[in-house]
Chain A
Amino acid sequence: MLERRYAAAPGCIFAAFADPTLKVRWFGAPAESRRDRSFDFRVGGREVANGYSPGGQIYGYRAVYREIVPDRRIIFTYDMTLGGRRLSISLATIDIEPQAGASLVRYAEQAVFLDGLDDPWRRRHGTAILLARLARLVEAKSLK
């Protein structure tokens, strides 16, 4: 579980996950290594965000949205592959709690890591980096 307070309203945090033009600014591979991408933000909808690994293999990310409560909650499941081999399958929940002029975001992930190809520590580290990028986006945006 990663917990982080953002100096932005819940609607602003939610939009950073729900709006494809905002999400692309903080989530996924750097622009130069991006490959296929698709985004269907609704319950049952899928998201694909593939990119190239530093070694030139394809990192695959495929998610399905399972539960959405506007401005409050997003639950999705996803799997990751590297060069076509499945690394992990995850259940991720994002809980956005309104606080005076801010939001408390709790990101929890439960996962199965397959065949020794990845581990929870790396995933946690990667997710913390993403949440920091999200902070830069939403906190800058709310200053406008």
Chain B
Amino acid sequence: MTERSIAYGTFVIERNFPVPPARVFAAWSDVKQKAKWFGAPDQDNTPSQFDFRVGGRESSRGDAGGASFTFDVLYQDIVPDQRIIYTYDMTMNGARISVSLASIELRPEGGGTRLLLTEHGAYLDGLDSNEQRKEGTIFLINQLEKYLALQDA
């Protein structure tokens, strides 16, 4: 029998990009752009479902380190160029490892954009942790930064 536990955590990532908020927003809202940075660098990250509107869902699956993962999103609040709020859950080899509430805020700052990402999570049965999720998310935001820089070149 699985030992049941829930661990709670919150993390915040702040980053400045030298492009306007509309460009950063498009990297989240346009599936072709998002697939270029959101996910593992060595595989096709195109989601099987992508419906970017309030109440819409996004689904994708992928493999990492010999395990298979699913990622299912529900978009909860969208203010173009300013705010995206979504909830998501993840499974690993069929077991649910987390349910999260994420908010992305974009603010214009000196011709560029300040991104503030806040994530609240419930991590299940010891299968994941707030620290690991923060690390993984920093990795994604680093990829977003590179993607926006390339697009700008």
Q: Residues of A at under 8 Å CB distance from B?
A: 64, 66-67, 69, 72-73, 75, 77, 79, 86, 89-91, 93, 95, 106, 108, 110-112, 114
Nearest 10 CB-CB pairings of A with B: A110-B120, A77-B87, A91-B101, A89-B76, A66-B99, A93-B122, A66-B89, A75-B99, A67-B96, A112-B103
B124 to chain A, nearest CB (A): 7
Nearest B-chain residue to A90, judged by Cβ: B101
Is A110 in contact with B96, judged by CB distance below 8 angstroms? Answer: no
B residues 35-50 with Cβ under 8 Å of A?
none
With A66-B99, A67-B124, A89-B101: A95-B77 Cβ-Cβ less than 8 Å? no
Is B100 in contact with A91, judged by CB distance below 8 angstroms? Answer: yes
Q: A75 contacts which chain B residues (CB < 8 A)?
A: 99, 122
Q: Among B4-12, B18-26, B107-115, B137-145, which stretch is in contact with chain A?
A: B4-12
CA gap between A66 and B73 in the complex, in Å: 10
**A111 contact from B6, B99, B100, B101, Cβ within 8 A:** B101
Interface membership of B85, Cβ < 8 A: yes
**A77 contact from B76, B103, B118, B124, Cβ within 8 A:** B76
What 1/0 mask marks residues of chain B from 117 to 153 whose CB sits below 8 Å from any chain A CB?
0101110100000000000000000000000000000
Q: A106 contacts which chain B residues (CB < 8 A)?
A: 6
CA gap between A114 and B83 in the complex, in Å: 11
**A91 contact from B4, B77, B122, B124, Cβ within 8 A:** B122
